[in-house]
């Protein structure tokens, strides 16, 4: 792709010569084109590896965290299940919102390997009493039984999948965890942005198909009670209508 930005003429041109498409620089289309490119560059720079939440590293794009916050506040879940703990920042985000809302019993974090220094710092954290840590493969029967033991039939449950992002593993997680999701709530298959990153340094051609967004599409095709649906923005005084997200096609809502 060739992009020419002319701040004097206030245009953005895409493509070569007579095939170039020119759009006004200060309108929505140019913003979206540049945002999509920025998102890819940010991945190469490991931008999402620069944040903490209440002291714990959280490996996400800021907009995705704000959108997740909107959904947590709106749904007020009793239980949040997240696969992929890493340093624990995303567990702290969920737990801190539950505490602030005065609603929510437990945040369950599942990881195949919780490194000793991460476990130590998570266990010392103010919010640890609201967490349950489960170590093991997210789709193993032992782990799923431990998760199930924490969930009560009337609980409002939100599930976030952020572990192994291969299409096959995410599909297995979707098959395993969708039964916990309450009607109207979501199972979020994060990091579908992989499908756009295959041609970048550290990317892989197989990611065009081998990604969480594809797993989400496969899952809903086999489960009519679920749809892929970006949650509506709860506030919007702009002309924009789509997020700048690392989680495309991630939000899978339970209809029935
Ligand atoms: C991207 S990190 C999670 C980031 C975290 N959710 C956050 O927002 O900060 C992915 C984690 O998934 C874990 N993981 C990889 N394969 C897994 C599996 N099969 N089951 C459970 N966890 C897995 C890794 O150990 C790693 O800690």
Quickly state the pLDDT bin for 82 (edges 50, 70, 90).
very high
pLDDT at 18 over 90: no
- Tokens 């493509």 belong to 15
What number does the ligand 1 atom closest to the CA of 169 have?
19
pLDDT at 213 over 90: yes
Given this model, what pLDDT does residue 16 score?
Answer: 81
Given this model, what pLDDT does residue 91 score?
Answer: 98
Q: At what angle do helices 62-75 and 89-101 cross, to 10 degrees?
A: 40
pLDDT at 217 over 90: yes
pLDDT at 19 over 90: no
Q: What angle do CA 49, 159, 184 make, to 5 degrees?
A: 130
89 within ligand 1 shell (Cβ under 6 A): yes
- CA–CA gap between residue 246 and residue 227 (Å, rounded): 19
Given this model, what pLDDT does residue 4 score?
Answer: 95
- Tokens 């309108």 belong to 27
Distance 139 CA to ligand 1 centre (A): 12
59 within ligand 1 shell (Cβ under 6 A): yes
Distance 87 CA to ligand 1 centre (A): 9
pLDDT digits (tens, 9 = 90+) for 46-62: 999 999 999 999 999 99
Average pLDDT, the chain: 97
pLDDT digits (tens, 9 = 90+) for 148-180: 999 999 999 999 999 999 999 999 999 999 999
Distance 40 CA to ligand 1 centre (A): 21
pLDDT at 96 over 90: yes
Nearest C-alpha neighbor of 93 from the set 113, 118, 122, 119? 122
pLDDT digits (tens, 9 = 90+) for 110-140: 999 999 999 999 999 999 999 999 999 999 9
pLDDT at 1 over 90: no
Tokens of 74: 């709106």
- Helix (H, G, I), strand (E, B), or coil: what is residue 51? strand
Given this model, what pLDDT does residue 80 score?
Answer: 99
Tokens of 253: 């809502």
Q: Which of 16-20, 114-118, 203-207, 242-246 has the lowest mean pLDDT?
A: 16-20
Distance 187 CA to ligand 1 centre (A): 16
């Amino acid at each position: 792709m060739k992009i020419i930005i002319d701040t004097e003429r206030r245009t953005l041109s895409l493509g070569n010569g007579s095939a170039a498409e020119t759009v006004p620089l200060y309108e929505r289309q140019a913003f979206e084109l540049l945002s999509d490119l920025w998102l890819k560059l940010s991945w190469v720079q490991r931008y999402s590896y620069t944040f903490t939440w209440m002291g714990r590293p959280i490996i996400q794009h800021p907009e995705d965290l704000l959108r997740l916050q909107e959904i947590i506040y709106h749904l007020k879940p009793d239980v949040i299940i997240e696969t992929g703990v890493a340093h624990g920042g995303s567990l702290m985000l969920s737990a801190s919102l539950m505490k602030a809302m005065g609603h929510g019993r437990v945040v369950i974090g599942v990881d195949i390997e919780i490194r000793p220094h991460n476990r130590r710092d998570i266990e010392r954290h103010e919010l640890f009493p609201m967490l349950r840590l489960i170590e093991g493969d997210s789709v193993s029967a032992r782990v799923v039984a431990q998760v199930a033991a924490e969930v009560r039939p009337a609980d409002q449950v939100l599930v976030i999948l952020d572990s192994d992002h291969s299409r096959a593993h995410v599909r297995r997680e979707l098959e395993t965890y969708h039964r916990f999701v309450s009607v109207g709530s979501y199972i979020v298959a994060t990091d579908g942005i992989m499908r756009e990153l295959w041609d970048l340094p550290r990317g892989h051609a197989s990611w065009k198909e081998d990604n969480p967004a594809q797993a989400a599409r496969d899952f809903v095709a086999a489960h009519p009670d679920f749809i892929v649906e970006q949650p509506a923005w709860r506030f919007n005084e702009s002309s924009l209508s789509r997020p700048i997200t690392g989680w495309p096609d991630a939000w899978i809502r339970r209809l029935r």
